[in-house]
């Protein structure tokens, strides 16, 4: 039986649940696969060298996580329309000595929002990295929100992402005052992740019927989500987007059936709890 190979590239990346997700899907199909977490330092030359090496080793493709998503698009020989629109890629496929970029964060985030049954009209994105770009395009093209706000600690980066979807960039210190009327708040930063500084934002101005999403999944219940839940808001944790976006890479490189269901979530939650145990 031929072992099909893929992986995920990031810095850091050892915390990634992507290898487990792909192993679970492969077990269900009784497929022989290898899916590795590969640490690549945030440097253009190091990233290019890693991609060339992995393609030469026979991998079918790699998922790309922070801080490499914009770098991944720049390196690719060709890209999907959505990856180009976002200016970032989280998938690189290797085919016939070419590197093809795509962005499954877009469809993955849209699927996570759809699970809530809500149809947000005014969204607020915190952050301006590669994940923020995918979320912004999802909100604009797939979910169809009427207005988008973006705030980032570096204002110029917020303005750059805002131009992609005709959004409004606001000053980071004004983030709390901008919550009025927002029905979807999305944290795309690493703030609140285990080992990172907390995301400092009070939710008193956020409507109680809003949805709050956090792409962080370690911890699964970030302080942002805990505060939102206490306020009565619906929440989307980091596993939802992670599972949905991962399905595209699995189908492209490793197998056919990539079902996002309660069993998959339960096994990922168990893995997170095991990691947190002393």
Across the chain, mean pLDDT equals 96
Residue 163: pLDDT band by 50, 70, 90 thresholds?
very high
- For 253-270, write each residue's pLDDT tens digit: 999 999 999 999 999 999
Tell me: pLDDT of 62 over 70: yes
Please confirm, yes or no, whether 14 is among the known catalytic residues.
Answer: no
Using alpha carbons only, give the angle 87, 246, 270 rounded to the nearest 5 degrees: 130
- Supply the angle between the helices 104-114 and 238-253 in degrees, to the nearest 10: 130
Smallest Cα–Cα separation from 91: which of 8, 189, 161? 8
Arithmetic mean of pLDDT, 67-86 = 97
User: Which of 60, 69, 96, 273 does the annotation list as catalytic?
Assistant: 69
Arithmetic mean of pLDDT, 125-149 = 96
Q: What is the pTM of this model?
A: 0.94
Tell me: pLDDT of 194 over 90: no
The Cα–Cα gap between 268 and 66 comes to 20
Which helix (H) or strand (E) element contains residue 170?
A: strand 168-171
Arithmetic mean of pLDDT, 1-6 = 89
Q: Is 124 exposed, middle or buried (0-12, 13-18, 19+ CB in 10 A)?
A: buried
Tell me: pLDDT of 143 over 80: yes
Domains in the chain, start-ordered, CATH in brackets?
4-103+240-276 (3.40.50.10860), 106-238 (3.40.50.720)
Residue 208: pLDDT band by 50, 70, 90 thresholds?
very high
* pLDDT (0 to 100) of residue 1: 67
Which helix (H) or strand (E) element contains residue 243?
A: helix 238-253
CB atoms within 10 A of CB 60: 18
Tell me: pLDDT of 278 over 80: no
């Amino acid at each position: 039986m031929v072992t099909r190979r893929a992986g995920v590239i990031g810095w850091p990346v050892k915390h990634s649940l992507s290898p487990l997700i792909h192993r679970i899907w492969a077990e269900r199909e009784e497929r022989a696969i290898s899916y590795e977490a590969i640490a690549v330092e945030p440097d253009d030359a190091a990233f290019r060298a890693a991609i060339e090496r992995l393609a030469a080793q026979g991998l079918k493709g790699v998922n790309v996580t922070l801080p490499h998503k914009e770098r991944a698009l720049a390196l690719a020989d060709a890209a999907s329309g959505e990856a180009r629109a976002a200016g970032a890629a989280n998938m690189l496929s290797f085919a016939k000595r070419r590197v093809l970029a795509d962005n499954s964060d877009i469809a993955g985030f849209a699927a996570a929002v759809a699970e809530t049954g809500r149809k947000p009209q005014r969204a607020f994105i915190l952050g301006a990295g590669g994940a923020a770009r995918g979320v912004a395009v999802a909100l604009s093209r797939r979910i169809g929100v009427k207005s988008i706000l973006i705030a980032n600690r570096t204002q110029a980066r917020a303005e750059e992402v805002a131009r992609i979807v005709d959004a409004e960039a606001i000053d980071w210190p004004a983030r709390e005052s901008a919550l009025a009327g927002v029905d979807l708040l999305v944290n795309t930063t690493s703030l609140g992740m285990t080992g990172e500084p907390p995301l400092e934002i009070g939710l008193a101005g956020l409507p109680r019927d809003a949805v709050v999403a956090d792409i962080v999944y370690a911890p699964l219940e970030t302080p942002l989500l805990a505060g939102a839940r206490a306020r009565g808001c619906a929440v989307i944790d980091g596993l939802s987007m992670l599972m949905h976006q991962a399905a595209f890479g699995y189908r492209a490189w490793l197998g056919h059936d990539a079902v996002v269901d309660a069993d998959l979530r339960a096994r990922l939650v168990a893995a997170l709890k095991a990691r947190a145990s002393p």
